[in-house]
Amino acid sequence: MLIYVVTQYIVVILPLEVLGLKCPFCNNNEDKVIDSRPIDESSVIRRRRECLKCNKRFTTYERLEEMPLMVIKKDNKREIYDRSKLRQGLVIACTKRSVSIDQIEKITNEIEDELKDFIMEVPSKIIGELVLKRLKKLDEVAYVRFASIYREFDNVDAFKNELDELKKKE
Question: What's the burial of 170, exposed, middle or buried (CB within 10 Å: 0-12/13-18/19+)?
Answer: exposed
Q: For 54, how many CA atoms within 13 A lie in the half-sphere containing its CB?
A: 12
pLDDT tens by residue, 17-67: 455 688 899 999 889 999 988 877 667 888 899 999 999 999 888 876 667
Relative to beta strand 121-123, strand 70-72 is parallel
- Count of C-beta atoms within a 10 Å radius of residue 152: 9
pLDDT tens by residue, 57-95: 998 888 766 678 999 999 999 999 999 999 999 999 999
CA angle 128, 101, 103 (to 5 degrees): 60
Q: Give the containing element (helix H, strand E) for 82.
A: none
